[in-house]
Amino acid sequence: MRLFATLVVLGFRRWSTYRLATAAGAFTNTVFGLIKASITVGAIGAAGGTLAGYDALAGATYAWVVQALVAPVNVFHWNELALRIRDGDIAVDLARPLDPQFAHLAGFLGRAVHQFIPRGAPPLLAGALITGLALPTSPLPYLLGLVSVVLAVSVSFATWWLVNLAAFWLIELRGLLTLHIVGMSVLSGLVIPVHWFPDWLATLAALTPFPSILQAPVDVITGRVEGTAALGVLAVQAAWLAGVLLLGRLVFARGARKLVVQGG
Amino acid sequence: MTEPIIQVRDLRREFVVRRPAGRLRRERTVVAAVDGLTFDLAEGAAVGYIGANGAGKSTTIKMLTGILVPTAGTVRTCGLDPVRRRRDLARQIGVVFGQRSQLWWDLPLAESFRALAAIHRLPEGAWPGRRDELVDRLDLGAFLATPVRQLSLGQRIRGEIAAALLHSPRLLILDEPTIGLDVLSKERLRVFLAEQRTLHGTTLLLTTHDMDDVQRLTDRVLVVDHGRLVYDGTLPGLSAQVGAERVMVVDLVEPVRDLGAIDGTRCVAVEPDGLRHRLAFTPEHTTAGAILEAVGRRAQVRDLAIEEPDIEDVVRRLYLAQLSGDGRGDRP
């Protein structure tokens, strides 16, 4: 555990060196939060005041909380592993008495810890000032929510890990990474809540780990699911995490067997 | 008798190279980067592993460390099967890939040592002492707090070597550690490595293009060419076998067309009107001092330089000697 903690701290510190980038990211998240909250509120108004259990305030809250989480769970980009495989730096990872997936997960969580406040607080603050936020008043949803966010970050990592592993077989990954971003953006509930999806799309989403990345933690934090239902949501996240991590390990082992690191 | 720290038997590694042939078809060829290597390394040895670019040096090292899976043959490093026991092996060896970094690019150098101590599970009370020793001997103190991305090449390489030695490995594998370093930095690194060997008995396996590295640091040389071992022995033995010559370049104050015969040398070239003479010699037959003295008796010397035989040249000569089958290159 000391090792995992050290690697999380290093992940945190790596990102904390880039303050201007963090500030710019927080600004962007907030601006997009405003746009999304407006559209969400507009859609709920057009639907007659409530939509799948969201009234205007709940809808705006959803948009702002998603914006607060989007940086920590890292929906938009992670290609560190793919670059290391392509450049051959993976050789350095393999020359350590360390499981690469474990090490990268720790780094990813460290990054998330760093992003949590500086990238999360500004959209929530803006939301509280502009539209107001409908958040629970008891501590339990926040405690469960914290667990849910840690699981969400880890699930996100597990899916990125899997996609990055394609670098063992392919040189150019941009198309695949873009596909992953699009899939994750839509099916995680980044654009609109998964609860608004037509049945066929909701079914499709449920067959992927993506709702576990944003919809799940937001449902738990905002108290949309409570008690046993909330624990159920956490269980689904944990199951996806275990499954996708395991798949990632198997694929990594296959990739490492055919690994070619040329030159130097 | 103790088990060799590295044991390699009939080791082979193939790569598949695909080349476009026609519009859609791709031609698939199999290239053997390592082709039937067999050797042992005793604990405590210092071995130079040399060969031209593409000879298979790095491929061998990656198989020794469990990063690449051999196509055929066996490897045992520190008594372990490297691929199966990669993580256990990693605790006992230190590796520096000259072209790659194992330091945390965004963070101060000191943080990399902290991370590696955790990764190797070094006891909290013990590793700072080792770190301080390395910081002192490699002179890292001035830039411990500097982010790795801002270090100069020489500083970074010293940091890399310290990182590889922090867990006091039994075996240190250096893949072209002095590449790109200036003369002074190379020299300091060599002094450090020799000292570590004396102090800790670390086994050293070194690939390099630099003959000076081999001369100063190793007591045995393995030469690989096209994936095959073409020489295994001492460096003087290698020079004797291929007749590799050093060249003394002397610049004269006044042009002299012909210096006449100088014992133990062969005149390779005389440049612009006799101002510069290039004299080839082997250290077995004469010394640089004797040549300089002989030249000095005939002309006034303005400047001189000594060119070492380069590894490509040695390997090429070795290869040619084998082809001509003159019996001198018949060792495996």
Main-chain dihedrals φ then ψ at residue A171, nearest 5 degrees: -90, -45
Is there a single domain that holds both residue B29 and residue B74?
A: yes
- Res A260: pLDDT: 67
Residue A178 included in any domain: yes
Give me the total of CB pairs closer than 8 Å, taking one residue from chain A and one from chain B. Answer: 80
B272 and B220 in a common domain: no
Mention every residue, 6+ apart, whose C-beta is less than 8 A from residue B201.
B43, B44
What share of residues in chain A are helix, strand, coil (percent, to 5)? 75, 0, 25
User: Quick one: B84 and B175 in the same domain?
Assistant: yes
What are the phi and psi torsion angles at B15 (to 5°)? -120, 145
As a whole number, the mean pLDDT across chain A is: 92
The CATH number given to whatever domain includes residue B51 is: 3.40.50.300
Helix (H) or strand (E) holding B196: helix B183-200
A264 located within any domain: no
Identify whether residues B26 and B82 lie together within a single domain.
yes
* Residue B312: strand, helix, or coil: helix
> Is B58 a domain residue?
yes
- The verdict on B88 and B14 lying in the same domain is yes
Whole-number Å distance between alpha carbons of B49 and B39 = 11
- Same domain for B173 and B188, yes or no, is yes
Q: The whole model's pTM is what?
A: 0.84
Q: How confident is the model at residue B319 (pLDDT cuts 50, 70, 90)?
A: confident
Q: Give the CATH number of the domain where residue B304 resides.
A: 3.30.70
Contact A264, B100 (CB under 8 A): yes
Long-range contacts of A202-205 (CB under 8 A, 24+ apart): none
Q: Is residue B227 part of a domain?
A: yes
Residue of B nearest to A9 (CA): B115
Residue B284 lies in a domain: yes
Is B120 among the domain residues?
Answer: no
Kindly state whether residue B161 falls inside one of the protein's structural domains: no
Residue B273: pLDDT band (50, 70, 90) is confident
Query: Closest approach of chain A CAs to the CA of B88, in angstroms?
Result: 6
Rounded to an integer, what distance in angstroms lies between the CA atom of residue B125 and that of residue B134? 16
Query: Do A105 and A54 form a contact (C-beta atoms < 8 A)?
Result: no
Edge to edge, what strands does the sheet with B228-233 contain? Answer: B93-97, B171-175, B203-207, B46-50, B220-225, B228-233
In this structure, what token pair is assigned to residue B84?
Answer: 């199966």
Taking the C-alpha atoms of residue A114 and residue A88, their distance in angstroms, rounded to an integer, is 28
Tell me the three state secondary structure of residue A72.
Answer: helix
Pick among A1, A10, A257 to test the B interface (most B CBs inside 10 A): A10
- pLDDT tens digits, one per residue of B228-260: 898 899 887 887 777 777 888 888 888 887 777
B182-190 average pLDDT score: 86
Q: Which of A2, A260, A264 sits opposite B100 (nearest CB)?
A: A264
B16 plus B76 within the same structural domain: yes
Q: Does residue A107 form part of some domain?
A: yes
- Closest CA in chain B for residue A15: B106
Q: What is the pLDDT confidence band of residue B313, given thresholds at 50, 70 and 90?
A: confident
Query: A235-249, pLDDT tens digit by residue?
Result: 999 999 999 999 999
Token pair listed for B46: 């210092």
Nearest chain B residue (CA) to A5: B118
The share of chain B scoring above pLDDT 90, in percent, equals 41
Spatial separation of the C-alpha atoms in residues B26 and B32, rounded to whole Å: 19
Considering B240, B256, B279, which residue would you say is the last residue of a domain? B240
Q: How many domains does chain B have?
A: 2
ipTM above 0.85, yes or no: no
Answer whether A34's CB lies under 8 Å from A123's CB.
Answer: no
Q: Do B10 and B88 fall into the same domain?
A: yes
In angstroms, the CA B169 to CA B36 distance is 28
Token pair recorded at residue A202: 């909701």
B281 and B182 within one domain: no
Range of the domain at B266: 245-308
- Within a domain: B21: yes
* Chain A environment of B67 (Cβ under 8 Å): 91, 94-95, 259, 261
Rounded to the nearest 10°, the torsion over CA A55, A61, A62, A65 is: -170
Query: Are B207 and B276 in the same domain?
Result: no
A262 lies in a domain? no
- Residues B190 and B73 occupy one common structural domain: yes
- The answer to whether A17 contacts chain B (CB < 8 Å) is yes
Of B58, B86, B107, nearest to A263 by CB-CB distance is: B58
Domain membership of residue A236 as a residue range: 2-257
Taking the CA of residue B122 and the nearest CA in chain A, the distance in Å comes to: 10
Q: Look at residue B327 and tell me if it is in a domain.
A: no
- Are B98 and A99 an interchain contact pair (Cβ–Cβ within 8 Å)? no
> Does residue B134 lie within any of the structural domains?
no
SS3 content of chain B, % helix, strand, coil (to 5): 35, 30, 35
* Per-residue model confidence (pLDDT) at position B1: 53
CA-atom Rg of chain B in angstroms: 23
Q: How far is B86 from chain A (nearest CA, A)?
A: 7
How many domains are contained in chain A?
1
User: Token digits for B170?
Assistant: 């039994």
From chain A, pick out residues whose CB is under 8 angstroms from the CB of B15.
260, 262
Please state the three-class secondary structure of A146-205 as a single string: HHHHHHHHHHHHHHHHHHHHHHHCCCCCHHHHHHHHHHHHHHCCCCCCHHHCCHHHHHHH
User: Does B59 share its domain with B186?
Assistant: yes
Higher pLDDT, A140 or B250: A140
